[in-house]
Amino acid sequence: MRTELKNEYCIFCNKPLEGNNRSKEHIIPQCMGGILWSEDLICKDCNSKFGSEFDEMLIKRFRWIMYPLSLYNDQIKLKDWIGEHNGLKYLFTKNGIRPKDPRPIYDENGNMKGMVYPSEFAFRKHLKRKKKKDPTIDIQKTIDYSVKKVKEIQGQFKFVSEPVGEKDFRCCSKILETLMGMMKSFLFLLEDYRLDIRETRD
């Protein structure tokens, strides 16, 4: 979806935007699901220079909320993020949050009574390794007889963001430039509407 801003100069280097010097640029980066774009923001040189850093910076800064809030583009492959809670590591994926590693469970006497696996895939992988030593293991039967539970994580994950820097400001500038341009257009339309109303009343 294209938006018309009608800027005459690149917002970064101030070069004239004309002819082949214009560059198609997403307002909100594609990595966060942005579909609005414009050819009236930055020149080709600045797009080549800064384009990749926008996605990299935003993913790094907002990775903890991108999956929970669905702020991502399905066409772009993102790594799962690792967070820690009560000494256990969890993976943040687009399908939800799950434990990263298998862990043992103990009875009231401190004796190990089994293992908890983060997914069926992880459990199957473990059984395949075991089967190499013991061919009598029936992998599918073992999986079918296992207990499957979804456990709610109680508490909060705590994350620390890096200080805002030059890259952050550059990325936000194109979003603000678009917003200001759209607000100006809206104010002009509102003023025209008010004039029409006054003329009608007169």
Per-residue pLDDT tens digits for 77-113: 677 778 787 778 888 887 778 888 888 888 888 887 7
Let me know: does 42 contact 12? Beta carbons within 8 Å: yes
In contact, 43 and 15? CB cutoff 8 Å: yes
Could you read off the pLDDT tens digit of each residue along the chain, which spans 202 residues? 444 556 688 878 888 888 888 887 777 766 666 677 777 878 888 887 776 666 666 777 777 777 766 666 666 667 777 878 777 888 888 777 888 888 888 888 888 778 888 888 888 888 898 889 898 989 998 888 888 777 777 767 776 666 666 766 666 766 676 666 666 655 555 555 445 544 444 4
Tokens encoding 34: 């942005």
And the tokens for 95?
Answer: 């399908």
- What is the rounded CA–CA span in Å between residue 124 and residue 177? 51
pLDDT at residue 82, as a whole number: 81
Angle at 93 between CA 76 and CA 30, to 5 degrees: 25
Give the pLDDT score at 9: 83
pLDDT of residue 51: 66
Task: Name the residue ranges covered by the structural domains of the chain.
Answer: 102-148
Cross-strand bridge partners of residue 95: none
Instruction: Give me the pLDDT at residue 31, please.
Output: 67
Q: What does the pLDDT read at residue 201?
A: 46
Smallest CA-to-CA distance from 62 within 185, 168, 188 is with 168
Q: What predicted TM-score, i.e. pTM, was given to this entire model?
A: 0.50
